Each structure stands twice: as C-alpha cells, then as structure tokens.
Amino acid sequence: MDAIDVIVTKRDGRELSTEQIDWVIDAYTRGVVADEQMSALAMAILLNGMTRREIAEWTQAMIRSGTRMDWSSLPGRTTDKHSTGGVGDKITLPLAPLVAACGGYVPQLSGRGLGHTGGTLDKLESIPGWRASLSSDEMLGVLGEAGAVICAAGEGLAPADKKLYALRDVTGTVEAIPLIASSIMSKKIAEGTGALVLDVKVGSGAFMKTVERARELATTMVELGTDAGVNTVALLTAMDRPLGLTVGNALEVAESVEVLAGGGPEDVVELTVRLAREMLSAAGLDGGKDPADALKDGSAMDAWRRMIIAQGGDPDAALPVAAETMEIVAPATGVLTRLDAYGVGLAAWRLGAGRERKEDPVSFGAGITLHARPGDEVREGQPLMTLHADDAARFERAVAALDGAYAVGGPGEVDLLPLVIDRIRA
C-alpha cells in the first residue's frame, strides 16, 4: 500500500477502505509513513470529514497500536468519565471517589494541563506524596482497595494517538472532529471501562465554543463508544464561566475536599452528582446508594482518603500556598453580568498554574479565588477575585488577561448557558 494513494483518496472526498486505514495507522506508528504525509492526510480529513464507519475503524486501528487494559478480575462493574476540559473543572477529583462510594469501580486515566485549561494530574500532585504514574498491577491494587484510581496513561496505551496528537497540534488540524473524537475515544476504549460518560464543555473556556459543534463532537464520540461495545452517554455542559470558585491546582483540590465534606459551590456539587448518577446508570448500578447521600454521610470522603493514601499521598497534609496575592475589585456597584471563562483561565495560566509546554513545571499554589459569580450583586471596591502567584512579577500579565473578562451592570444583562445543556445517547 502507498501513503500517497491514501492521501489522494481522502483529498478527493472518497471513503478510506478498512485496509487503507489499518495500514496507514500501523505504518505511521512504525515510522514508515512520514510526518509530512500524515499531516497531508490529517488536513484532508479536516476538510472532507469521515463517515461513521471510517471514524470507528480509525479509532480501532489506533487502539490496536498498543495495549488494552482488562478489569475483569474486579468483583464489580467499571465506569468512567471524560471531560473535554475547561476552567475550574475539578469535577474528576470528587467524582471518582463518589462513584466508588456508591458501588462502582472507576479506572480514571487523566492528563495534565496545557494552555488555559487545567490538568487533573497537576491538581492532585499538589498533595504531598501523591503519585500519578502507576503500573497496571498498581492500578488494580488501588481499585481493589479504594474503588477508584486517578492516574496517568501508560506509554503502551494507543501510542498511535500520542504521535498523531502531537502532529495535529503543529499542523492546524486540531479542530477536525473525526480526529478529536478518535483521539479521546481510542484511549478511553483501550482503558477497558465498561461504561463511559462524556462531559463535553461548551463556551469560551472550552475547546468547543458553540453548542452545535459540541453536539457534533459528543454525538460522534457516543457513536464510537457504542460501536465498540462501551455503554456511552454524553452531557453538554457550560464553560462560558468558570466552574466553582477556584482556578488553580491546590486551590481546586481544597474546593474538591469541601464538596466531599458535604459543602462546596452549588454548581460543582450539582454537576458532580449529575455525572455520578449518569456513570452509575450507564454501568447498571443505579439501584443502590444515591450520590447525594454519599456526600452527606461521609462515605465519599472515606473513599477519597483511601484513594489518596493508596497512591502515596497524605490527605491530611497542608496544601501549597502561593507567596503573593493581589485583589481585583468591582469597578462599580450593580450585578456581575459577565465572568469569561477563557479570560480567567488565561490569567491563572499566566500566574503559574498552567504550562506552555508539556515539560514545564507548574506552581501548585498559583491561581485565582473568585468572590462573586455572574448574577451576584456587588459593590464598587468589593473584591471580585484574589490572584495567587509565587512571583509578584506575574500579576501584571494576569491582570491584562482579565481586561474585558468581567463586567458589572444590571440584572437583565446576565446571559448564561444552563449548567447542563443537553444529554446525548446513541
């Protein structure tokens, strides 16, 4: 088979055959197909799209490029959640132990932050001693002990995706929905979970800016999961404003612990409980304890502590605190009508909470604490947010990122997406 023939087929708007897809993924993984050739194919896919069959076979070919995990030795059903990423999106932290407390097993493979969106592993690494890298046997051990594990994906999981992801990032083909969907789902299917709930974010702080694009991506991923025999459902959720009242690694861990203790911001609690119910239902476990009760009776907190300890962390240790703080105050009296998720995320990134390159370190204490949310009444001079950084020199660029990201006006000017916009099944 020839790479040029595969490129020309998609360039001319025709379907790739099963043989072409299997060959090109395998050949690219082995280095037979060059980066420039795969770049041309990725651009042709971006421009001409793929059918459901093509996307499903592309995804399966990427799964076959590596190993597939197996949790059949566990005495219960597995269920997982994937978020497309956002600002203040700490939901995985309370969600995994919450579902475990209600009878599910949660093998959660997570990632690190890049740009304005935070990474689950970075947040958890602010807990002293906690380890992100676990072997398959260690994952199984933590699952057996705590019912949930949150860790990094191993090198053997869909290596074709890892190589293609890096290429898409530098060739202007990140936005291709067939490639986004297959990238996410190849890893999630290879993870071996029996049920999957997708949290597809919509808004300025999300990858998908419009409901229409988010629905297209969610539908494609649900179809991929269904075709692979994984019971899959998706929720479209709001990311036009940050989730909760904190953005940053240790700050979000502290807020997650508040949720597990029965408190925390209303939107974080609502979305955590909704996703937990979806995960349990998808796994056929919705006849037991309700997640809202598990937050109140302490069983979710118990599962959190077991999970953190099993991964080497100290749940009682003090979390990192930034050396410097700065307040942003309300410019007028009225109602906070706007708090743009992207602007807040960019500011937190500039404060040191995120990274430009995957090898860059993060500042665990850096980030933003919010004191008001859209719809809240504020007074002129009242603190709207507190910026946290280890280096005061970072404040100037963070403040610049917030220019135009918030506004004060009248109550009729607040226009927000509903927290849960839509639910999508096969």
Quickly list DSSP for 264-290: S-HHHHHHHHHHHHHHHHHTT-TTS--
| Residues 105 and 200 both lie in one domain | yes
Q: Are residues 264 and 331 in the same domain?
A: no
Co-location of 147 and 222 in the same domain = yes
82 is an active site residue: yes
Q: Is residue 203 assigned to a domain?
A: yes
Query: Within this chain, do residues 334 and 382 fall inside the same structural domain, yes or no?
Result: yes
d(CA 128, CA 99): 24
Cα separation, 241 vs 7, whole angstroms: 40
The residue among 374, 415, 422, 395 whose CA lies nearest residue 243 is 374
pLDDT of residue 162: 87
Mean pLDDT, contiguous 10-residue spans, the chain (426 residues): 96 98 97 96 97 96 94 96 95 98 96 82 97 95 97 90 88 91 94 96 95 97 95 98 98 98 98 98 94 98 98 98 98 97 96 82 96 97 98 98 97 95 96
Alpha-carbon span 160 to 63, nearest angstrom? 8
One domain for residues 244 and 102: yes
Q: Tell me whether residue 10 is one of the annotated catalytic residues.
A: no
Q: How far apart are CA 106 and CA 74, in angstroms?
A: 11
> 62 lies in a domain?
no
Rounded Cα gap, residues 179 and 167, in angstroms: 11
Residue type, 329: V
Q: Which of 77, 112, 116, 168 is catalytic?
A: 168
Alpha helices by DSSP H, 228-325: 249-260, 266-282, 291-296, 299-310
In this structure, what CATH number is given to the domain that contains residue 42?
1.20.970.10
CB neighbour class for 12 (10 Å; exposed up to 12, middle 13-18, buried from 19): exposed
Query: Reduced to 3 states, what is the DSSP secondary structure of residue 233?
Result: strand
Question: Among 316, 335, 361, which residue terminates a domain?
Answer: 316
Of these residues, 80, 89, 122, 161, which one is catalytic?
161
pLDDT at 358: 66
Would you say residue 61 lies in a domain?
no
Query: Do 266 and 359 share a structural domain?
Result: no
CATH of the domain at 391: 3.90.1170.30
Q: What is the pLDDT of residue 356?
A: 74
What's the pTM value of the predicted model, to 2 decimals? 0.94
Active-site choice (183, 186, 256, 363): 183
Last residue of a domain, one of 277, 300, 316: 316
Structure tokens at 178: 């067939």
179 close to 42: Cβ distance less than 8 angstroms = yes
Judge whether 187 counts as a catalytic residue.
Answer: yes
Same domain for 133 and 190, yes or no, is yes
Evaluate whether residue 350 is within a structural domain: yes
d(CA 60, CA 21): 10
Residue 390, pLDDT score? 97
Residues 38 and 131 reside in one and the same domain: no
Q: Which domain holds residue 13?
A: 3-49
How many domains does the structure of the chain reveal?
3
Quote the Cα angle for 61-4-171, to 5°: 70
Catalytic member of 10, 77, 81, 82: 82
Q: Which two tokens stand for residue 69?
A: 């995990």
H/E segment holding residue 190:
helix 177-190
Assess whether 294 and 248 both reside in one domain: yes
Query: Among the three residues 267, 293, 316, which one is the final residue of a domain in this structure?
Result: 316
**What is the token pair recorded at 371?**
């004191």
> Among this protein's residues, is 168 annotated catalytic?
yes
Catalytic residue among 90, 112, 116, 187: 187
Q: Tell me whether residue 63 is in a domain.
A: no
User: Which H helix or E strand runs over 52?
Assistant: helix 52-64
Residue with tokens 């930034």: 322
Q: How many helices (DSSP H) and strands (DSSP E) are in the chain?
A: 16, 13
Give residue 8's pLDDT: 98
CATH number at residue 262: 3.40.1030.10
Q: Are residues 279 and 405 in the same domain?
A: no
Domain-embedded: residue 129: yes
Catalytic residue flag (residue 73): no
**Is position 408 within any domain?**
yes
Distances (CA, A) of 133 to 88, 165, 320: 23, 21, 21
Same domain for 285 and 140: yes
Q: What is the pLDDT of residue 117?
A: 83
Same-domain check for residues 309 and 370: no
Is 72 domain-assigned?
no
